Homo-oligomer: A and B are copies of this chain.
Amino acid sequence: METTKTVREQILDHAISLMMLRGYNGFSYRDLSDLVGVKTSSIHYYFPSKDDLVLEAVHAYTREVQDAVKTIDAGLPAEGKLAKFAKMFGRTLGDGDHICLCGMLAADIETLPEPVRLAVQAFFKANEACLTQIFAEGASDGTLATSATPEQAARAFFAALQGAGLASRLFRTKSRLEEVEASFKLSKQK
């Protein structure tokens, strides 16, 4: 029962993976050509320009991540939801040499056109909105820190996850995401 992917989907998947690894300016149509097995001119057929390709990549990635976030059990305590969110964020990164696509593109943003900036902003906003709710709950049930507003805490936490992704890969370790989680909880971890 294998659902064979179209060439278009393969291109998009590999483009996302390559950008998570090397960034927008660190991969080429030739790389995609080698991976997918079609000529670069064929890739231009699906995605006329590289800008078109990134934009679609961000949309697809955002959808994917948001679908995963939605599966977080609403019955969990805030602390548990936060842990789940952090774990899922780590899992989308694969073997350890990839970072979040939108974190990467945020680094490359000054070389990208405005529509891409807006799409990456939308990704951040969606995740921060989800986290804001978790921190608001955490303030009520007393499991999460309250020194900042839920909005501030959510943005700081998401920034910390992005930064921890960078550092994890830099040091070739996996532990940095968990440290972030521990730092935003009120009770000491065992």
Contacts and interface: CB of A to CB of B under 8 A. Distances in A.
A162 B166 contact: yes
A11 interface: no
Nearest to A159: B163
B184 A183 contact: yes
Interface string A158-190: 111111101101110000100110111111110
Counting contact residues on chain A (CB < 8 A from B), the size range is 35 or more
A107 B107 contact: yes
Interface in A108-160: 108-111, 117, 120-121, 124, 145-148, 152-153, 155-160
Contacts of A171: 121, 124
Contacts of A157: 160, 183
Contacts of A176: 155, 159
A107 B110 contact: no
A35 to B, nearest CB: 16
B170 A124 contact: yes
A100 to B, nearest CB: 10
Given A108-B23, A111-B22, A160-B160, A120 B187 contact: no
